[in-house]
Structure 1
Amino acid sequence: MNTQPPELPEELRSWIAAVTGADRIEVKQVSGGASRQAWLVDARHGAETAELFLRYDPREPKPGSAFHSLQVEAEILTELYRHGVTVPRVIAAHQERQAVLMERIGGDTWFRLIKDPAEQVATAQDFIGKLAALHRIDARELSIPGLGAAGPVAEHVRAEIDAMRGRLDRHRGPAPLLGFCIDWLDRNVPGYDGPTVLVQGDTGPGNFMYADGRVTAIVDWELAHFGDPMDDIAWLSLRTVQDTFTDFPDRLAEYEQLSGHRIDADRVWYYRLFAETRLASMNPGSVDIRASAPAGSPDAGNSLIYGMLHRRLLVEALAQALGIPEVDVEFPDDERESEHAQIYDATASALSGAVGRSTDALAVRYVKGAVRLVKYLAEVDRIGAVVDAQELAELARLLGEPPTSVSAGRAALAERAGRGEIGERDYVTQLWRGIKRDDYLTRTASGALRTRTWPPLTHTIERGEQQRWVSPSPKITAS
């Protein structure tokens, strides 16, 4: 294994010196993504030092990718900075290499690290104010060559659906659920004719920096596109599932007041499904795999639990969009034990012991992931056959014949639903039952993620047997 520290190509060091006029360049790589590298850059000129930040991707842009090239992301940042949006100022974008040099912004990233509740609320409110300000900009006033001109929202939605379908068509292998979702989105584009905005995509906690209760920079614009403001609200709710973001209905009420855009629950649910389908289209085979743990990956344990989370969120959004109520699933008795329980427990304990003796943060992450895999395998061994037998019986009733496996039965069901031989509601209802069973098998491995789901859009006030939905409107001012 190569343990040498990474080196920034000399070509880029020379380029940085040229665009900054620096006499001496000092660089240090920091965590910032699996493929897009992040570097702290000190550009020294005599006694003065410019503190900069470099984003660098050694790969060439992949045709058809959902992610923008770094040159397009630089165009987005430059135009937004010109309009007063809180983004880093771009110093230069390399003409040939995937490299963008920006000013360095101070602050932390992960929202959950804020311990003071008052600071949490202040930071969340400040972000909402900045998101609202972004959505008040008329997209027709933005000049971003890589995105083209802003048009009606429906045109941009259909263009992205076509891009998803293109990624699916290039996939070598079946992906029946993804295909079903793309077709459903295509048939049900919202009839919204309001203002087109620039949607950040993947917006929210984790993709902005903060300090002392204020947002210092909104970062990561590689999924930005023109579209519906509710698209960003859907992405914000997805980021909220993975991190935390204080009281979501309160934040949405503030957004309404500051942006002038009313929260439309039906459109938010559409774009929740849209966001999860877009993510799935980047790796088309993953959404139909019951346990997505890529072979050869040292981080397979985390892939397992986050893959399960996103499949569940996708199906929950699909069910909500179709108006399907909660489905009930009977799970096996928790008292059932495997004869190999002691071996699984011993393996998990041995791995946990290794975690306690390691000072390598990445190694700790990988070993904790391995513990998750062991916990999942223990559940499959304990009750997997029982869970599968229940679903196979349900699939046989719908298909008219027993499938050879749960995966084959789900695929056949999706194909028949796509041909109109099985109703959409029947398909999604059965699919939801299956996903709940997958989630049940993963529950001990998932830990806190097991209870995470889409946040509510409004507060619910109980009145006897009825519910009244209300959206609070606190008085706040834009920053």
Structure 2
Amino acid sequence: MSGERPEVTAEVRQWITDVTGADDLTLTQVSGGASRQAWFVDAHTGAGSRELFLRYDPREPDPHSVFHPLQVEAEIMAELHRHGVTVPKVIAAHPVRQAVLLERAGGETWFRLIEDPDEQVRTARDFIAKLAALHRIDAADLTIPSLGTAGPVAGHVRDEIAAMRRRVAAYPKPAPLLTFCIDWLERNIPDYDGPAVMVQGDTGPGNFMYADGIVTAVVDWELAHFGDPMDDIAWLSLRTVQDTFTDFPARLAEYAQLSGHPIDEGRVWYYRLFAETRLASMSPGSIDTRASVPPRSPDAGNSLIYGMLHRRLLVEALAHVVGIPEVHVDLPDDGTASQYSHVYDATAAALSASVDRSSDALAQRYVKGAARLVKYLAEVDRAGAIVDAEEIAEIAALLGATPASVQQGRAALADAAGRGAVSEADYVAAVWRGIKRDDYLTRTASGALARRTWPALTHPTDEGGRDRWVSPSVTTTGN
């Protein structure tokens, strides 16, 4: 990872000056999306200052990327703004570089920072109202040349599945589980003949701005596409896993009433798998790797735990759509000790002390991530051989031959399922048991994330007919 400080090039600065007519510019980088830079731009003129926002990516667009180039994102936002959707107004898009200048929206981003429960509910309800308004627009009425003309939903789903296949094909190594998911999605496209809508993708808390209980702007349209409204509900439930979004079933009931689109649980589960598969296709090797961490990354600890979360969510969605309600796994007793436990504990203590003595927020993040890696390695040292032996034995029983490793066994099992030598149900159940073992080894590193899963879509009802709700942040996966 480069230690160079991000800068906006002189060419892009001059473009901003030309667009705004400013005499002088002040640019301040702020935290933004994971893939692009974000800058506050103050354009100073003799009449005062204009507050703007720059989305910027110095890289050339990747034709295989799941993300739109910024010019396409600007095209989407401009058309949605014209239709009254609450998005920032597009001032200009650079004709060549990936740079888009927007009006700056006021407010905060992270939903979890709202301390007042009533304000949380007001904000969530306002977002749901705005999502419903977006989905009331027939996509056929939108003019977005880069996306083409909206047609039947199934056609757009097939197009995205084909794009997933191209990304996997470009990957130099096999991706057996991901390929299985893509094949399943293609065979089971929902029979939905309603109008296509604009699906934001990755919609929900973290991707809208808010102030005083009102959503001031829905942001981040780099995954937007035409499709099924339940696709966005699946994305919203995915965002909710990471940033609990009040009473989720209640919000969905409000959405259904306001949008005119009833919640179809089967389609939501299909698009949960679809969303996780689409994300995994960005890095095909990560889904088949127990500990997926980018090499030489100082943020590898966070990559480990979020990678595990998304792998588990993908397999839980796959198990649900295939019709497997639960699998059982015998896991080692937590009292099982390693002779090196005291060394891991000492390393974790040293890292914790280092965090306390640092005032650099980024350094703190990296050190905390290193502590997560140590916790994970401690569990692998303590119990990894036990869970590996059990999984290899299970795979051998299905294959009729003993694989040399868990990784080879999982790949061979996927191949056998693809040939019909192992049933779909047996394969998915084996994968789910494997993921539960991986999750067990990662649980101390993951902390609260280890207890999160897909939120319920409806309220459970007790004998008296009263609704109850359990926060997804405290739902356990069980063993």
Q: Would you call these one fold, judging by a TM-score over 0.5?
A: yes
Distance, in Å, in 1 between the alignment partners of 2:449 and 2:180 is 26
In the TM superposition, residue 468 of structure 1 has moved relative to its aligned partner by 11
Taking every aligned residue pair, what percent have the same amino acid on both sides? Answer: 73
C-alpha distance in 1 between matches for 2:288 and 2:466: 37
Residue type of the partner of 2:286?
Answer: S
Match of 1:477 in 2: none
- Determine whether 1:410 maps to 2:413: no
Shift of 1:33: 3.5
Partner residue of 1:21? Answer: 21
Structure 2's unaligned 5+ residue stretches are 470-479
Q: Work out whether 1:184 is the aligned partner of 2:184.
A: yes
Question: 2 CA distance for matches of 1:6 and 1:338?
Answer: 44
Aligned CA distance change for structure 1 residues 337 and 247 (closer, same or farther; 3 Å): same
Query: 1:176-209 CA deviation, whole Å, 9 max, x = no partner?
Result: 0000000000000001001110000000000001
Query: Partner of 2:9 in structure 1?
Result: 9
Q: 1-side partners of 2:467 and 2:409: how far apart?
A: 39
| Cross-structure match for 1:199 | 199
Q: Within 5 Å, which residues of 2 pair with 1:304-383?
A: 304-383=304-383
Q: How far apart are the structure 2 equivalents of 1:216 and 1:463?
A: 41
Confirm or deny: 8 A CA contact 1:458 1:470 kept in the other structure: no
Q: Is 1:284 paired with 2:246?
A: no
1:94 aligned residue: 94
**Counterpart secondary structure, 1:210:** strand
CA distance in 2, matches of 1:410, 1:7: 44
Structure 2 match to 1:64: 64
CA distance in 2: counterparts of 1:34 and 1:387, whole angstroms: 34
TM-score normalised to structure 2 length: 0.96
Tell whether the 8 Å contact from 1:458 to 1:469 is kept in structure 2 after alignment.
no
SS in structure 1 opposite 2:51? strand
The question of whether the paired residues in 1 share the 8 Å contact of 2:33 and 2:220 is answered with no
For residue 143 of structure 2, what is the aligned residue in structure 1?
143
Map 1:70-81; keep pairs closer than 5 Å: 70-81=70-81
Give me the whole-angstrom Cα distance separating, in 2, the residues matched to 1:198 and 1:164. Answer: 19
Contact 2:372 2:446 in 1 (8 A): yes
Displacement, 1:128?
A: 0.2
- 1:152 equivalent in alignment to 2:152: yes
Is the Cα contact below 8 Å between 1:66 and 1:223 reproduced in 2? yes
Identify the residue that residue 475 of structure 1 maps to in structure 2: none
Trace 1:230-245 onto structure 2 (pairs within 5 A): 230-245=230-245
What's the C-alpha RMSD, in Å, of the aligned pairs?
1.6
Residue pair 1:461, 1:468 contacting (<8 A) in 2 also: yes
Shift of the 2–460 alpha-carbon distance from structure 1 to 2, 3 Å rule, reads closer
1:59 partner letter: R
In structure 2, the residue matched to 1:426 is: 426
Secondary structure in 1 matching 2:462: strand
| Alpha-carbon offset, residue 469 of structure 1 | 9.4
SS in structure 2 at match of 1:39:
strand
Q: Distance in 1 between matches of 2:207 and 2:7?
A: 26
Q: 1:2 to 1:333 in 2, by over 3 A?
A: closer
- Equivalents in 2 of 1:104, 1:285: separation in Å? 38
Shift of the alpha carbon at 1:34?
Answer: 4.5
Q: Which runs of 5+ in 1 are unaligned?
A: 472-479
Give SS of 1:461's match. coil
Give the C-alpha shift of residue 101 in structure 1: 0.3
Contact 1:68 1:223 in 2 (8 A): yes
| Deviation of 1:294 (Å) | 1.9
Instruction: State the 4+ residue runs in structure 1 displaced beyond 4 angstroms.
Output: 1-5, 467-471
Q: Distance in 2 between matches of 1:162 and 1:196?
A: 18
Q: Deviations over 1:104-160 (max 9, x none)?
A: 011111111111100000000000000000000010000001110000000000000
Counterpart for residue 302 of structure 2: 302
> Is the Cα contact below 8 Å between 1:313 and 1:453 reproduced in 2?
yes
Q: CA deviation at 1:6?
A: 3.6
Instruction: Tell me, in whole angstroms, the C-alpha distance in 1 between the residues paired with 2:462 and 2:432.
Output: 27
* 2:180 and 2:418 in contact (8 A); partners too: yes
- What residue number does 2:477 align with? none
Deviations 1:216-273 (A, max 9, x none): 1000000000000000000000000011100100000000000000000000000000
Alpha-carbon shift at residue 32 of structure 1 (Å): 1.6
Residues 354 and 310 of structure 1: CA distance in aligned 2, closer, same or farther (over 3 Å)? same
Q: Give SS of 2:287's match.
A: coil
Quote the residue 2:130 is aligned against: 130
